[in-house]
Amino acid sequence: MIKINTEYIAKKIGESIDKISCEVEPSCKKAIKDALEKEDNATTKFALQVMNDNIELAIKEHRPVCQDTGMVVVFLEIGNNVILTGELLQKAIDEEVKKAYVSLRKSVLDPVSRKNTGTNTPAVVHTTFVEGDDIKVEVMLKGFGSENMSKVYMLNPAQGLEEAKRLIVESVRIAGSNPCPPVILGVGLGGTLEKATLMSKHALFRKIGSTNPDPVLDALEKELIEQINDLGIGAQGFGGKTSCLGLFIESFPTHISSLPVAINVLCHCSRADSFVIDGKKEGEVCRI
């Protein structure tokens, strides 16, 4: 077995937060540059130029790219040979989130009293178990201008995939300018209500321009991107050629009675990171 200390994992997450608050995910950065080059609408081009300059300035001067430094979402795929030692995982992560957010905006509050927690904690942490000795860590700072535009539908089988497709496109049309387009969409198809939403969030870690390993879903992604770009929303909702930078689908078997569809909207500044903690190198080999 391999022992890995939760405080070590949390420290790496803290470092990741510091980086991605200022550095937009590289495939997303490139997609904005491409959108700028393609655009002809003068007002929209102006907006894209400011967006592109902002992304570059944030990296160069290590400033948060957006003032909404989000809520921290972490996915951990923990190898089944790993034993976690040290503090409880959530507690260790929250401790590092608190430190990282001293210089970032603290946007997290109690939903009833609306009193700010003052530390941007707690982080939203999801864990799954996989084979192996390592831990794959995915970290996202999720802004809520876009999160608020996200949707989940429990369709019936008669409505089927056609209705799911219509609702995905429609959700972007309704969101319009609010989520800071061009948007990136994560879609969860199937499972249960919470499984669909979880997949829709996790899908947002895919790189823009990457291929879905399932050829049917890959074709569906390309079809939906085209339909969304045809809406003409454009950067900032000012009208234009690029309304969607990427669309990623994850699917899971579902019940005979239903077709859950979750749509997680992300703005044009993806602040996401993933890395692997190598159990054999970074952990401690032990016998149990």
Partner 1 sequence: MQDIIRLNLPFDKEELKKLRVGDRVQLTGDMLVFRDAGHKRLYQSILDGKQAFEYKGETIYFMGPCPAREGEVLGSAGPTTSCRMDKYTPFMLDNGLLAQIGKGKRSQECIDAFVRNGCVYFAAIGGAGAIYSKCIEKAEVLYFEDLGTEAVRRIWVKDFPVVVAIDSQGNNIYNE
- Output the smallest distance, CB 168 to partner 1, in A: 20
Q: Hey, what are 79's tokens?
A: 């190898």
Q: Between vectors from CA 195 to CA 202 and to CA 6, what angle results, nearest 5°?
A: 55
Binding window for partner 1 (CB under 8 A); candidates: 59-67, 187-195, 212-220, 252-260: 59-67
192 binds partner 1 (CB under 8 A): no
Binding window for partner 1 (CB under 8 A); candidates: 11-19, 153-161, 173-181, 253-261: 173-181
Maximal C-alpha separation, the chain: 66
Q: Hey, what are 31's tokens?
A: 């997609």
Residue selected from 239, 241, 252, 275 as contacting partner 1 according to rule CB under 8 A? 239
d(C-alpha 206, C-alpha 32), whole Å? 16
Residue selected from 119, 178, 192, 274 as contacting partner 1 according to rule CB under 8 A? 178
- Output the smallest distance, CB 209 to partner 1, in A: 20
Q: Which residues, numbered 123-152, are part of the site for partner 1 (CB under 8 A)?
A: 145, 148
107 binds partner 1 (CB under 8 A): yes
Residue selected from 31, 65, 139, 169 as contacting partner 1 according to rule CB under 8 A? 65
Q: Hey, which bits of 80-182 come out as E strands?
A: 82-85, 124-130, 135-142, 151-155
Sheet with 82-85: list strands edge to edge: 82-85, 2-5, 284-285
Q: Which residue has the tokens 């803290």?
A: 14
Q: Hey, what are 149's tokens?
A: 């535009």
- Point out which residues bind partner 1 (CB under 8 A): 42-43, 46-47, 50-51, 53-54, 57-58, 61, 63-69, 102-107, 114, 116, 118, 145, 148, 176-178, 180, 236-239, 267-269
